[in-house]
Structure 1
Amino acid sequence: MEYVFTPPPQAAIPVVGSQQFFPVHRVYLVGRNYVEHAKEMGHTGREAPFFFLKPADALVVVPDGATGDMPYPPLTSDLHHEIELVVAIGKGGSDIAAADANAHIWGYAIGLDMTRRDLQGEAKKQGRPWDTGKGFEHSAPIGPIHPIAQTGLIESGSISLEVNGARRQSGDINQLIWKVPEIIEHLSRYFVLQPGDLIYTGTPAGVGAVQKGDLLEGTVDKLGSLRVKVA
Structure 2
Amino acid sequence: MPTEVALLESRALRAERMVRVDILDKVKSLVMLPDGIHVRTEDVARYFEVSTEVVKKVTQRHRAEMAENGLLLLRGSELRTFHRDMMSLWGGEGEANHPSYPQATARLTLYTRRTVLNVAMLLRESDIARCVRTYLLDAEGDLRERYDSLDFRVTRIESCLAGVGSALQELGPVLRRMSERFDSLDRKLGVTHEVVGAMSTRLADVAHDVRRVDARLDDVAHRLRELRPGPREG
More strand by share: 1
More helix by share: 2
Range of TM-score over shorter length? under 0.3
Q: When the two structures are superposed, what TM-score results if normalisation uses the length of structure 2?
A: 0.22
Structure with larger RCO (C-alpha < 8 A, sep 6+): 1
State which structure, 1 or 2, has the greater radius of gyration over its C-alpha atoms: 2
